[in-house]
Amino acid sequence: MIPDEVIAEVLAHTDIVGLIGSYLPLKSAGRTHKALCPFHTEKTPSFTVNPERQIFHCFGCGEGGDAISFLVKHEHLGFLEAVRVLAERAGVSLPAERGGGPAAADSRVPLYEVHRLALQHYRDNLGGTHGNAARTYLEGRGVSAELIERFALGYALPRWDGLLQVLKTNGYHDRVLETAGLAIPRPKGTGHYDRFRNRLMIPIWDVSGKVIGFGGRALDSAEVKYINSPETPLYRKGAHLYGLNLAAKAIREQKTAIVVEGYFDAIMLHAHGFGNAVAALGTALTTDQARLLARYAQSVVLLFDPDAAGVGAARRSLEHLINVDLEWRIVVLPDALDPDAFVRTHGRDAFTAALAGGVDLVDFFLDRRVSGLNIGDPVQLAKCVDGLIEVIAQIESPVRREGYLTRLAQRSGITPRTLFEAIAKKRTLTRTESQPAPAKAAAPPSAEEHLLILALQSPELARRIAAALLPEDIGDSVLRQIYTTYVQAGQTCGPMSLLPPEVQPRLSALLAAERADDEAAARIVDDCLVRIQQRRAQRDRTALRQAMESAERQGNQSDALKLLANHPSMKGKTN
């Protein structure tokens, strides 16, 4: 387990604005920074990052916390793994973990280590005598020794337990290997066997360069040419991009990413000087992958295989990626060649020319290979334009939507006004059919919340409020817990991610609230305390009346008179 003080040190060395800014386009808003919330759909930014408090909070959906909480929620990490990521980022050394408690059992560290050992095993195999056939295959595809080293290629032996034996020797049991996606349970009997056998092995990295999975290319007549690791606690299909850890620097410098379909497409583009190439791991580009690219790039060139399946994949991608704020260009290579074969056949200059000939979304959808229609025919042109309107109508940004509309008018010869009316009608119809009910406006802070906000902002006000406010004055149990801990007891707000999950968003909302000036804050405290004292007096009167009624029902009129005489409201009064 990691001590609390070490977690506090990690957070102290983490700039939450820099961290979240690497995932979201933050914009300065006075003393805070804002963005559209990544945890729910919204059109107006309500997601706030507070550098002074080192917290984030969304006033729309209520999510909130510190840097650890953000990684846990946004990257689907376990708590300990999020701490490790931040520790590595901040250069803070973590103590060696001991024991096998629940937190350790949930740790993903053993899975990273298993993948590291598996990679070393596969690389050793490729360099040994058993790797002759794999090396011959790579040589035939133009993959040099330098590329083998750069992309850490390897080879899985044609054995049922080649990797299993190595990992067992290192103390890892079958269950861990199964969780890592490297071993499969035998359908009959007990035990496991290697998932990858007699395959060229291609490691899949996360953006930090850690191996999280593998792709295996068959070297025999296997029915399935490529198999990938299954989804695991490390690897989620559609959430990663092959080679991004190697391409990130070039993408940032060039502001453009090239997205291809296969491993060798990306490898050979890197070999020919296109270091900004990544692969979509054999699937149509997903929204998660596009948002990942948006951290590094301003524009994306999509290259898919020129066959019908490749064109279909590109079209499906664009239909659901249109709202990711990137400039999209599409290249369909000539001669029915994929990027790997094209660049090896025609060379770097020809590929550069092909990239320059990339088309935007409008031209792509009007292409006969995509639409299947002849836009020279008025009826078929109308069908094609109707299909494109379906796509453009999904664009939330009015500026981007108008840009595509203008482009469509130029290419189709249809007036902008006609297209605008068609898109407006489509958007109105879509909202009517599928738009969820608008979210209810957030309720204004209660008197107790106002007092907690001000107490957390000012030690002087905290002392005044603690002297006047009783815990029983606060009906909400979470707010009462925050009050007794941080106002009455005076504890400092330590790592928020260590707090119970029901407390984190409530505390982050209080801490993220805007500051009032001293005069306004004092006035708010006065008003809130008066309201609470009035409620307290009303509560006492109600309790007195109920007690007197109970005494009278039991025939104890003298007891009822004593209750009335001893009530605080009667002190100093005579009959």
Q: Would you give the DSSP letter of residue 328?
A: E
> In this model, does residue 219 exceed pLDDT 80?
yes
Q: What is the mean pLDDT of residues 386-393?
A: 83
228-259 pLDDT, tens digit per residue, is 999 888 888 888 999 999 999 999 899 999 99
pLDDT at 351: 95
> Residue 99: pLDDT band by 50, 70, 90 thresholds?
very low
Q: What is the mean pLDDT of residues 359-366?
A: 80
> In this model, does residue 193 exceed pLDDT 60?
yes
Examine the domain organization and report whether 464 and 425 are in the same domain: no
Contact between 323 and 394 (Cβ < 8 Å)? yes
> Residue 390: pLDDT band by 50, 70, 90 thresholds?
confident
Does some domain include residue 364? Answer: no
Instruction: Select from 512, 457, 503, 505 the least CA-distant residue to 480.
Output: 503
292-318 pLDDT, tens digit per residue, is 888 788 899 998 665 666 666 666 667
What's the token pair of residue 229?
């690791």
Contact between 108 and 136 (Cβ < 8 Å)? no
Q: What is the CATH number of the domain that holds 122?
A: 3.90.980.10
Does some domain include residue 575? Answer: no
In this predicted model, which residue has the larger pLDDT, 281 or 34?
Answer: 34
Q: Using CA atoms in the order 427, 428, 433, 436, what is the torsion angle rounded to 10 degrees?
A: 80
- Per the structure, the complete domain to which residue 461 belongs is given by 447-568
Examine the domain organization and report whether 142 and 163 are in the same domain: yes
Number of domains in the chain: 5
> In this model, does residue 350 exceed pLDDT 70?
yes
Examine the domain organization and report whether 435 and 451 are in the same domain: no
Instruction: Tell me how far CA of residue 133 lies from CA of 128, 215, 272, 433, in angstroms.
Output: 11, 18, 25, 58
Q: How many CB atoms lie within 10 A of CB 472?
A: 9
Map tokens 């290259």 to a residue: 303
Residues 463, 469: Cα–Cα separation, whole Å = 10
Question: Of all residues in the chain, what percent carry a pLDDT higher than 70?
Answer: 87
Which of 197, 228, 259 lies at the terminal end of a domain, its last residue?
228
> In this model, does residue 104 exceed pLDDT 50?
no
3-state secondary structure of 47: strand
pLDDT at 4: 85
pLDDT at 372: 66
Residue type, 456: L
Contact between 322 and 391 (Cβ < 8 Å)? yes
Which of 187, 203, 228 lies at the terminal end of a domain, its last residue?
228
pLDDT at 563: 56
Which of 392, 423, 439 lies at the terminal end of a domain, its last residue?
439
String of b and e for 418-441 (b: at least 16 CB within 10 Å)? Answer: ebeebbeebbeeeeeeeeeeeeee
3-state secondary structure of 287: helix
Least trusted range by pLDDT, from 266-270, 392-396, 426-430: 426-430
pLDDT at 159: 93
Examine the domain organization and report whether 169 and 244 are in the same domain: no
> In this model, does residue 570 exceed pLDDT 60?
no
Q: What is the mean pLDDT of residues 66-82?
A: 86
Does some domain include residue 333? Answer: yes
Examine the domain organization and report whether 182 and 280 are in the same domain: no
pLDDT at 560: 58
Q: What is the mean pLDDT of residues 417-430?
A: 83
Examine the domain organization and report whether 85 and 125 are in the same domain: no
Q: What is the mean pLDDT of residues 32-42?
A: 88
Examine the domain organization and report whether 244 and 354 are in the same domain: yes
pLDDT at 430: 61
3-state secondary structure of 126: helix
Examine the domain organization and report whether 163 and 50 are in the same domain: no
In this predicted model, which residue has the larger pLDDT, 356 or 551?
Answer: 356
Contact between 331 and 357 (Cβ < 8 Å)? yes
Does some domain include residue 222? Answer: yes
Examine the domain organization and report whether 247 and 326 are in the same domain: yes
3-state secondary structure of 183: strand
Examine the domain organization and report whether 86 and 23 are in the same domain: yes
255-267 pLDDT, tens digit per residue, is 999 999 889 999 9
pLDDT at 299: 92
Top mean-pLDDT range of 123-132, 184-193, 228-237, 446-455: 123-132
Is the backbone of residue 502 left (phi > 0), alpha (psi -120 to 50) or beta?
alpha
Does some domain include residue 561? Answer: yes
String of b and e for 85-121 (b: at least 16 CB within 10 Å)? Answer: bbbebbebebeeeeeeeeeeeebbeebbebbebbbeb
Examine the domain organization and report whether 381 and 317 are in the same domain: no
486-540 pLDDT, tens digit per residue, is 888 888 877 888 888 888 888 998 998 888 788 888 899 899 999 888 888 887 7
Residues 453, 511: Cα–Cα separation, whole Å = 7
> In this model, does residue 103 exceed pLDDT 50?
no
Q: What is the mean pLDDT of residues 7-15?
A: 90
Examine the domain organization and report whether 128 and 78 are in the same domain: no
Alpha helices for 436-556 (secondary structure H): 447-457, 459-468, 477-482, 504-512, 518-553
Contact between 265 and 277 (Cβ < 8 Å)? yes
pLDDT at 551: 64
Q: How many CB atoms lie within 10 A of CB 214?
A: 25
Does some domain include residue 52? Answer: yes
Q: What is the mean pLDDT of residues 273-302?
A: 87
Does some domain include residue 366? Answer: no
> In this model, does residue 59 exceed pLDDT 80?
yes
> Residue 5: pLDDT band by 50, 70, 90 thresholds?
confident
Does some domain include residue 369? Answer: no
Least trusted range by pLDDT, from 55-64, 94-103, 214-223: 94-103
Least trusted range by pLDDT, from 50-54, 146-150, 343-347: 50-54
Residue 575 has, within 13 A of its CA and on its CB side, a CA count of 5
> In this model, does residue 437 exceed pLDDT 60?
no
